[in-house]
Structure formats: structure tokens, C-alpha cells
């Protein structure tokens, strides 16, 4: 078998897994949602105002929590399989939103034109989180807000070392998710002002993804 054929087989395998992952995503999260994640989503996403952009919307589990009076809701999602599930959820619901094929590292919006950016369980997966956070800062208007809910590296050295040990296999199973990423520190360092942040636990999920942070970071008015 030539190297081109091997590459093609690997690409086909990863596309097939991406489709399976999108299909099983909601059932896999079901218990964790009921055990508290849904309430955290509601608290975070319910703060959205004005022109709102969501990063990596996945299957659209946040949709039901957006306030009804947003100026505009734009859902970005680079994964074709996830985008398919998202479009399906939108077709079957009453919420109106625009879906865009875009990655967080390259948002298709001009500078300072967005009031709210929402990121839930996404900064663990993006390839370049610092670049994604720079993009968030670029597109937000002064006074605009990043609303986040992310699973993060544990403060417990013991759990963090398990996160490091299991990071490789977890990333392969969970479509690129880094269970050991210190996303809280990245948000603190990205130039937005951390207005509010709480730590929580993602109950009923494997311990390596249980530590959560949720909060609001604001772009300074200059």
C-alpha cells in the first residue's frame, strides 16, 4: 500500500469517527447535563446580549438557553458532522440563528463588531487557544464580553498528573480535546478583564474532565 493510500485511509477513518462522535455526543453528555452542566450552561449563556457569536457550537446544546431578544445569533462550527447535527436541531426548533463554517482561530467578522462571544467546552479542543482568544478580543466591541464554561487542568497535582498521563488517548477518543489544558490561565493572560469566574465540577463525568470554570471576561473600554 502506497503512502498516499495510507493517508487516504487515515483521513477516511478520522472522518468516520468524527461522524460517530457527533452522533453520540448528546447521549454521552446526557447524564452530565442533568447532573449540573445544563444549569451552568443556562447561567453562562443566559447572559448573552446584542450581536452574539458562539464558538464551536457542536450539536447546539446551548441553543435553548439564549435570551429571546438578541440582535443576532451566529453559531460557528468547523466540524462538518457537528454542523449537520446543529442544522438539524435548528430545523426542529423555534430558535433562529445563522450557522457558519468557521474556526475560533479565524473568525469571519470585522474588528469590534460583536457584543458577546460564547465558548462552552471549546477552548479545550481548538488547536491554538491563544490565537482563538486573540480573535475573541479582536471581534468584541469595547465593553463586549466573553462568556465561558470550560473544563480545565486540575489544581490538584495528583489529578493533573492523571490528566497528563491520559491526555493522548483522551484526545484521540474525544476529537482533539485536551483534558489537561490550563484554559483559566489562558483566559487570564489574554488581555480581557476577568469580571467573574467560578469553579465547579462536571458531575457524572470521568474525573479527568471534571474541573470546570465558568465566567465572564470583558474587553476594556479604551
Ligand X SMILES: C[S@@+](CC[C@H](N)C(=O)[O-])C[C@H]1O[C@@H](n2cnc3c(N)ncnc32)[C@H](O)[C@@H]1O
Applying CB under 6 A, the residues found at the interface with ligand X are 55-58, 61-62, 77-79, 82, 103-105, 120-122, 125-127, 177
Q: Which residue is nearest to ligand X (CB)?
A: 58
**Of 70, 28, 77, nearest in space to 48 by CA:** 70
Q: Which three cell numbers stand for residue 118?
A: 460564547
3-state DSSP call for residue 63?
helix
Instruction: State in angstroms the smallest separation of the CB of 204 from ligand X.
Output: 15
Instruction: State in angstroms the smallest separation of the CB of 144 from ligand X.
Output: 18
- Of 121 and 133, nearer to ligand X (C-beta) is 121
Instruction: State in angstroms the smallest separation of the CB of 157 from ligand X.
Output: 25
**Of 55, 53, 219, 49, nearest in space to 149 by CA:** 55
3-state DSSP call for residue 25?
helix
Instruction: State in angstroms the smallest separation of the CB of 88 from ligand X.
Output: 14
Cα separation of 1 and 41, whole Å?
Answer: 48
- Of 32 and 222, nearer to ligand X (C-beta) is 32
Instruction: State in angstroms the smallest separation of the CB of 105 from ligand X.
Output: 6
- Of 44 and 70, nearer to ligand X (C-beta) is 44
Residues 6+ apart with CB under 8 A from 120: 41, 44, 45, 54, 61, 62, 148, 149, 150
Give the chain's radius of gyration (CA, Å): 17
- Of 143 and 206, nearer to ligand X (C-beta) is 206
Instruction: State in angstroms the smallest separation of the CB of 57 from ligand X.
Output: 6
- Of 37 and 160, nearer to ligand X (C-beta) is 37
CA dist 220 → 44, 136, 149, 151, 206 (Å): 20, 13, 21, 25, 37
- Of 3 and 37, nearer to ligand X (C-beta) is 37
> Do the beta carbons of residue 174 and residue 25 sit within 8 Å?
no
Amino acid at each position: 500500500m502506497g503512502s498516499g493510500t495510507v493517508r487516504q485511509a487515515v483521513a477516511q477513518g478520522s472522518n468516520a469517527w468524527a461522524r460517530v462522535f457527533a452522533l453520540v455526543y448528546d447521549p454521552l453528555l446526557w447524564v452530565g447535563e442533568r447532573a449540573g452542566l445544563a444549569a451552568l450552561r443556562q447561567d453562562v449563556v443566559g447572559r448573552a446580549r446584542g450581536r452574539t457569536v458562539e464558538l464551536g457550537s457542536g450539536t447546539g446544546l446551548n441553543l435553548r438557553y439564549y435570551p429571546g431578544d438578541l440582535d443576532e445569533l451566529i453559531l460557528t462550527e468547523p466540524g462538518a458532522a457537528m454542523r449537520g447535527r446543529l442544522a438539524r436541531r435548528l430545523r426542529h426548533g423555534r430558535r433562529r440563528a445563522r450557522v457558519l463554517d468557521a474556526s475560533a482561530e479565524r473568525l469571519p467578522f470585522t474588528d469590534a463588531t460583536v457584543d458577546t462571544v460564547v465558548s462552552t467546552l471549546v477552548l479545550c479542543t481548538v488547536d491554538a487557544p491563544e490565537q482563538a482568544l486573540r480573535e475573541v478580543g479582536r471581534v468584541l466591541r469595547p465593553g463586549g464580553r466573553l462568556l465561558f464554561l470550560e473544563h480545565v487542568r486540575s489544581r490538584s497535582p495528583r489529578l493533573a498528573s492523571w490528566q497528563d498521563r491520559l491526555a493522548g488517548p483522551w484526545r484521540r477518543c474525544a476529537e482533539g480535546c485536551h483534558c489537561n489544558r490550563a484554559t483559566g490561565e489562558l483566559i487570564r493572560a489574554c488581555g480581557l478583564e476577568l469580571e467573574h469566574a467560578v469553579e465547579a465540577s462536571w458531575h457524572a463525568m470521568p474525573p479527568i474532565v471534571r474541573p470546570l470554570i465558568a465566567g465572564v471576561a470583558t474587553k476594556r473600554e479604551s
